[in-house]
Structure 1
């Protein structure tokens, strides 16, 4: 049973709160007594979750790629709770497929969401933290920011930008002597959330990856940064092993990873082209976990539909 007083008085902003990591983070922090500010485009979902969390939760419909939406998110959080202690830039999307087959408008849209969204959130959070003298900014990146993969070049590029942005901001706080302002960046492995349902897919095949990590592992790591901030966290042995091998033999590991990804895509059932949630949110994928592990188990058992 969670302790409702564990995080009493703590105010946390979480983007991408309608599913996946964001939803899981919000639920746990709320159970531990924190004030939570939920941001996502899917108004009904975050309003329902805020109601479930109780009076110390507020939902703010937010397109993170729009500066005016992020300003409203910030202003609502401060107006409702008086301050922000932790800001988690979790929301992001992806695109899979040959770079030259993806429409330019989708490539640009991904940059707007992943890079501009993280930049806007980081700007509002750090400015507020400087005024109050403390705070923790947590940015969600990915292991692919350090080990780029083919057929996801624009996604890996945006995640590399987030990792570099976070590192630069971390150093900036250190240089300015702001020891009570923390900037953290998180690098998870491919995780079993609904992200494949929201991803722009131009591969011609369903996105079925494995092995994938349990989302609870990432949620626990992110929340752990509130108590013990770290500059950068690589989550799980798959990430750590991949990064170590890539450092030793980048050409070989890059080639093998690319071949494995291509084989995985070609082995999956055919699928229609979709821009996913890039331009408008989709109804599917509303829980913390997705069905990637279940699909992989069915495949291994020869029960593929």
Structure 2
């Protein structure tokens, strides 16, 4: 596959598809003619997504499940193959967060972040690449973060998990080359902070509502994910801010980390108070079935109140 027209008829698995990047990517891919297979914990919400896709003339199936459970990932791969006969692209769009100073966040929340963001991604990658080897080709798209390169204060376990995502992608590409599987590609998407429901679903022990400077619109990340399905890059920062941050960290790592920490601290000071919460990282919520998280609008109200 070399361009978006080649997505017609492609079978694409999208994890974390009930909201944010996953939902937006599934809708866009289906509109381009791909047959999509989606998974998330909120099965009833996935049914609504499938209904929306099929009503528009697309093809989709839903597999409710938790990506941190390897049995659920196995069911996902099996369902895709039984229904469509193969898997052309697997989009590992998994990501939850726990915000706050590292020691203020309960250890079970840190553990859950690693279970989903790293182990869930490994389970998906393992299922995908084994199928790709059996087929002789395929593309794995791992959704990381600019935190994969530039760690951010108040997001320690999230940053650690996303650094591991990039490390996994790099290592997988080496393995595949050594084994001669040149038709199997692995790419990593690295967005800046993006306005999606991720922020309100995250566990939060910072004492403040989540926010970050100059948030990007989710559409640029959705477009990058779709583009990576046919042209994956091992490292793909998304948007000018992610590119600038990535470049700066390669040249001036210590300075870039100090600046990013100050930005995070400054933004936290501007935010509204918020009681400690585990968010939806352990138990899914019924709300937030959207692509845009509405964080930028809240930030405008907070900034106006301070003016």
Instruction: Give the TM-score band, short-chain normalised.
Output: over 0.9
Deviations 1:176-231 (A, max 9, x none): 22111001111001011111111110101000222111111111111111222222
The separation in 1 between residues aligned to 2:245 and 2:233, in whole angstroms, is 21
Deviations 1:83-139 (A, max 9, x none): 100000002101110111111111111110111100000000000000000000000
The separation in 1 between residues aligned to 2:84 and 2:279, in whole angstroms, is 34
* C-alpha deviation, 1:250, in angstroms: 2.0
Question: 5+ residue gaps in structure 1?
Answer: none
Look up the match of 2:84.
81
The separation in 1 between residues aligned to 2:92 and 2:20, in whole angstroms, is 13
The separation in 2 between residues aligned to 1:102 and 1:253, in whole angstroms, is 25
Query: Where does 1:123-272 land on structure 2 (aligned, <5 Å)?
Result: 123-272=126-275
Match for residue 287 of structure 2 among 258, 269, 284 = 284
The separation in 1 between residues aligned to 2:103 and 2:299, in whole angstroms, is 29
Question: 5+ residue gaps in structure 2?
Answer: none
The separation in 2 between residues aligned to 1:267 and 1:303, in whole angstroms, is 10
Contact 1:197 1:284 in 2 (8 A): no
* C-alpha deviation, 1:303, in angstroms: 4.8
The answer to which of 98-107 and 248-257 deviates more is 248-257
* C-alpha deviation, 1:280, in angstroms: 0.8
Runs (4+) of structure 1 exceeding 4 A deviation are none
Deviations 1:32-89 (A, max 9, x none): 1111001000111111110111162101101000011111111111111111000000
* C-alpha deviation, 1:141, in angstroms: 0.4
Q: CA RMSD in A?
A: 1.7
| TM-score when normalising by structure 2 | 0.94
Tell me the secondary structure at the aligned position of residue 137 of structure 1: strand
Contact 2:271 2:302 in 1 (8 A): no
Look up the match of 2:47.
47
| TM-score when normalising by structure 1 | 0.95
Tell me the secondary structure at the aligned position of residue 126 of structure 1: helix
Tell me the secondary structure at the aligned position of residue 277 of structure 2: coil
Look up the match of 1:38.
38
The separation in 2 between residues aligned to 1:10 and 1:248, in whole angstroms, is 40
The separation in 1 between residues aligned to 2:248 and 2:86, in whole angstroms, is 43
Residue 65 (structure 1) aligned with residue 57 (structure 2): no
* C-alpha deviation, 1:5, in angstroms: 7.7
Residue 114 (structure 1) aligned with residue 97 (structure 2): no
* C-alpha deviation, 1:150, in angstroms: 1.8
The separation in 2 between residues aligned to 1:10 and 1:36, in whole angstroms, is 8
